[in-house]
Structure 1
Amino acid sequence: MERNRPELDREVPVLLVKVGHYPQSHSAVGAVRTFGRVGVPVYAMVEDRLTPTAVSRYLTGAFIRPSTGRESPEQLVAGMMALGREIGRPTVAVSTDDESAVLLAEHAGELSKHFLLPPVPAGLPRRLANKGELHSICRSAGTPTPRSCAPADRAALIAAARRWGYPVVLKNLEPFTRLSRPVVGHTTVVQDEAELLAACALADCDGEAGPSVLAQEYLPGEQAEDWFTHLCCGPGGEPRTLFTGLKLRSWPPEQGVTTRARALPNPELAALTADLCRSIGYSGVADLDWRLDLRDGRYKLVDFNPRTGAQFRLFETEDGVDVLRALHLSLTGRPVPQGAQLSRSFAVGQLDLMSTAVTAWRERRPPRDLRPRRGTERAWLCRDDLGPAVAEAARFGGRVLLHAVSSVAGRRSDRR
């Protein structure tokens, strides 16, 4: 029996908001498709007209707005206000990164003249996106989390690593700073003190402000599982829809973005997530990363991303609702159906192939699970919207070629 799918208000468009340079974003492509397929006009801020997002057949309009994250808040808000005037009607604003989530929350008073925004407490997204603040929030809320510290200087960082023992996880500490003054390129697992010092360049770890980095206890991969929850909360942190899933692979392996995942119901994890969001009053879309520590059987929160998650299209209910459609329904005053989540998988093309190959090489075994199963949501390739996959292939191939040329040039220089 086919269920009645909710009708989104097609008179209310969507703007995908971003801060920083990341043209190969499959979360933005997924957002364009999720709204475009149900007839909601969707606009996006992009770096240029040939990004995968910009060439999607479902995109209503692309605004060329390159940014670095070093701009002042006043500049960023002024740019958004100009886009609101250009669209010309109330628009749901969707954040696609931590910085845009912080911007929308902290300047909601001004931006609400043009945009529909969830009533999240103004300072909460910045605190959640700050890895050190998140640790404090978890402790206050009674939510399990790995041991973490935001060291005041390089000596404190080394001391924390020695106290816990290696490996240790390093993460950029806070939004905006991770773009303007990153300590590490991404979540990084260091195996010993030499790697710790190499990962944190001395220029970034010295100075009066100290290193903008979080050191976190490492939970061994062979004794842990990676889970995540994606949800949309209404006022007061009450979930409108909530999904749980298991991460199978990532790039780089064990410390990067999800490349293969599966949607799996997990009532215990769903309850943990809902309790946390209610306790802090979070409102809007969020993506939470959890690690199940098999040594003590507890789910431990490692990241709270107060915005759209990269793999959000893994999750959909039998009513056709995902977290972004739930947000649009909620902000336009429409009910959000409470259907069960579908059993689906998610794969990120070439990155998953790379992850599979590297893992197989490390474990000295043939690659496996290379072909996505039936019912797999692909980040890039889909029959009804081929443009983003072509654009991504061209950009990815160009990056590989440049890296190869640079490596060859470096070897020749070393021989001289």
Structure 2
Amino acid sequence: MNSKAVILGSNYYIGLSVIRCLGANNVHTVAMDYSTENTYASKSKYLKEQVIVPHYKKREAELLTFLIEYAKKQVDKPVLFPCADPYVEFIDNHLDELKKYYLINMTNQGFWSKIMDKEFLHSLAVKHGVLVPETLSSSDPNFEDQAIHEIGFPCIVKPTDSPSFVSKFRVKMFKCYNEYELKQAISKANNENLEVIVQRIIPGFDDHVYTFDAYLDQNSKVTHWLTCQKLRQYPINFGASTYTKQKYVQELYDIGAPFLESIGYKGFAEIEFKKDEKTGKFYLIEVNARTTTLNTLLEKCGMNFPLLAYNELTGKDIGSKSIKHDIGRVFIYLFEDMLSAREYVKTKQLSATQIFTSYFAKKAPAIWSFDDPAPALNFMYLLMKKVKRKLFRN
């Protein structure tokens, strides 16, 4: 079977990592984007095709038709890889139709969307005995009063639909320190018709955030897994990883594997946990249903999750594997890590020495690769263009 790998999204390093993971293993890779702008991942030597497609939101029906027509022209069913949350939602919305023409891990339409819904995920975790931060929904009676008296401050206001929220506000959540900020945050979300939840902040610095990264086969059994510890993120305290190390923590498997198996999950999943610095207990924060920012680290540690999905879906045996020791490798997205480093030092959460010495670790860079330098060079070019435009505006 010579199925192509269709990768939705190459304007971020997640798509780049999928292209490299597959292309380096002789898989024919196809990057599909609605524009060529900022698609630095398409410069990879491991990409065979770049195709411009209709926008996933503005021209949703046209994109569906395009994908179907593209697949019909192929000898074998392509394997479909979403590399951003909006593409996950798009595939999930049309899964029953798309799976006639593509090989896709998930088989139950609507499942991914439910997992991405913070309110639904919270209730699901509670049902299966997994700890989650105390949470209130905007649909609860006396929502604001309950949030003030039961959750307390500081707290966070999070969306139930993350992609729409991030698209509008360019942040993942609002952190509120008092009643006024809480009401302002809720009002902002309401004005955009976005549902939100209010959640207790689990005490602990950024290095108390961990991930359980796993692959579940078509029988919903965990076959491959490893765990990681986040050390820095951007924006600091509540953001995406900029510096994360692989760290073996058996307890994360003990919590995460039974949960994912019991809910019938299939394919790659990353559960983000936060460890309460006071009790030592792990709380489930979210589940990423697509390839994540840490993919380069996972691959360097010996877990090529995109290739696992490709091989299983095309009929190959994938076996099983777990990493139960510390390898000493770290993921780094240098551009944003330098921005976060400035803020950590400025707020006295980390020292300049701590950050400087961390750069001597064995790295898994988000973009740079000696073997495939063109994407990083193109990224630098795009970055300089943005800086130039900003300088001219000023």
Give TM-score, length-normalised by structure 1. 0.84
Whether the aligned pair in 2 keeps the contact of 1:356 and 1:368 (CA below 8 Å) is no
Cα–Cα, structure 1 residues 192 and 91, in superposed 2: closer, same or farther, change >3 Å? Answer: same
Distance in 2 (CA, whole Å) between partners of 1:294 and 1:273 is 20
Partner of 1:330: 312
Measured after TM superposition, the shift of residue 27 of structure 1 is: 0.8
Aligned to 2:51, which of 42, 50, 63? 63
Cα–Cα, structure 1 residues 271 and 198, in superposed 2: closer, same or farther, change >3 Å? Answer: same
Q: Percent identity, please.
A: 20
* Matched length: 388
Partner of 1:302: 285
Whether the aligned pair in 2 keeps the contact of 1:49 and 1:55 (CA below 8 Å) is no
Deviations 1:189-210 (A, max 9, x none): 23233433454554x4248xx5
Distance in 1 (CA, whole Å) between partners of 2:155 and 2:392 is 33
Partner of 2:340: 355
Cα–Cα, structure 1 residues 119 and 197, in superposed 2: closer, same or farther, change >3 Å? Answer: closer
Cα–Cα, structure 1 residues 118 and 297, in superposed 2: closer, same or farther, change >3 Å? Answer: same
Distance in 2 (CA, whole Å) between partners of 1:158 and 1:64 is 49
Partner of 2:244: 261
Partner of 2:234: 251
- What secondary structure is seen at the aligned counterpart in 1 of 2:228? strand
- What secondary structure is seen at the aligned counterpart in 1 of 2:42? coil
Partner of 1:115: 102
Whether the aligned pair in 2 keeps the contact of 1:117 and 1:331 (CA below 8 Å) is yes
- What secondary structure is seen at the aligned counterpart in 1 of 2:208? strand
* 2:4 is the alignment partner of 1:17: no
Aligned to 1:391, which of 366, 378, 389? 378
Distance in 1 (CA, whole Å) between partners of 2:312 and 2:117 is 27
The within-5 A match list for 1:32-181 is 32-46=19-33, 47-48=35-36, 51-65=39-53, 67=55, 69-72=57-60, 74-152=61-139, 156-157=143-144, 159-174=146-161, 177-178=164-165
Cα–Cα, structure 1 residues 119 and 357, in superposed 2: closer, same or farther, change >3 Å? Answer: closer
Distance in 1 (CA, whole Å) between partners of 2:376 and 2:141 is 43
Deviations 1:221-245 (A, max 9, x none): 3497100122211124211211210
Cα–Cα, structure 1 residues 161 and 314, in superposed 2: closer, same or farther, change >3 Å? Answer: farther
Whether the aligned pair in 1 keeps the contact of 2:272 and 2:284 (CA below 8 Å) is yes
Partner of 2:331: 346
Whether the aligned pair in 2 keeps the contact of 1:223 and 1:294 (CA below 8 Å) is no
* 2:301 is the alignment partner of 1:313: no
Distance in 2 (CA, whole Å) between partners of 1:212 and 1:184 is 16
Deviations 1:307-354 (A, max 9, x none): 111112211487x44211111121122222434437221100111111
Whether the aligned pair in 2 keeps the contact of 1:16 and 1:93 (CA below 8 Å) is yes
Cα–Cα, structure 1 residues 399 and 221, in superposed 2: closer, same or farther, change >3 Å? Answer: farther
Whether the aligned pair in 2 keeps the contact of 1:161 and 1:215 (CA below 8 Å) is no
Cα–Cα, structure 1 residues 377 and 158, in superposed 2: closer, same or farther, change >3 Å? Answer: farther
Cα–Cα, structure 1 residues 168 and 397, in superposed 2: closer, same or farther, change >3 Å? Answer: farther
Distance in 1 (CA, whole Å) between partners of 2:141 and 2:63 is 33
Measured after TM superposition, the shift of residue 109 of structure 1 is: 3.0
Distance in 2 (CA, whole Å) between partners of 1:37 and 1:390 is 19
Give the aligned residue type for 2:216: C
Distance in 2 (CA, whole Å) between partners of 1:350 and 1:200 is 32
Alignment gaps of 5+ in structure 1: 1-8, 409-416
Q: Once structures 1 and 2 are overlaid, which stretch shifts more, 271-280 or 146-155?
A: 146-155
* 2:18 is the alignment partner of 1:27: no
Alignment gaps of 5+ in structure 2: none
Measured after TM superposition, the shift of residue 155 of structure 1 is: 6.9
- What secondary structure is seen at the aligned counterpart in 1 of 2:45? coil
Whether the aligned pair in 1 keeps the contact of 2:71 and 2:78 (CA below 8 Å) is yes
Distance in 2 (CA, whole Å) between partners of 1:26 and 1:119 is 23
TM-align CA RMSD: 2.8
The within-5 A match list for 1:366-381 is 366-370=352-356, 372-381=359-368
Q: Once structures 1 and 2 are overlaid, which stretch shifts more, 343-352 or 217-226?
A: 217-226
- What secondary structure is seen at the aligned counterpart in 2 of 1:53? helix
Whether the aligned pair in 1 keeps the contact of 2:224 and 2:322 (CA below 8 Å) is no
Whether the aligned pair in 1 keeps the contact of 2:225 and 2:322 (CA below 8 Å) is no
Measured after TM superposition, the shift of residue 289 of structure 1 is: 0.9
- What secondary structure is seen at the aligned counterpart in 2 of 1:116? coil
Distance in 2 (CA, whole Å) between partners of 1:88 and 1:157 is 56
Deviations 1:221-270 (A, max 9, x none): 34971001222111242112112100010000111110001111111101
- What secondary structure is seen at the aligned counterpart in 2 of 1:54? helix
Distance in 2 (CA, whole Å) between partners of 1:252 and 1:335 is 40
Whether the aligned pair in 1 keeps the contact of 2:311 and 2:317 (CA below 8 Å) is yes
Whether the aligned pair in 2 keeps the contact of 1:153 and 1:211 (CA below 8 Å) is no
Measured after TM superposition, the shift of residue 358 of structure 1 is: 1.2
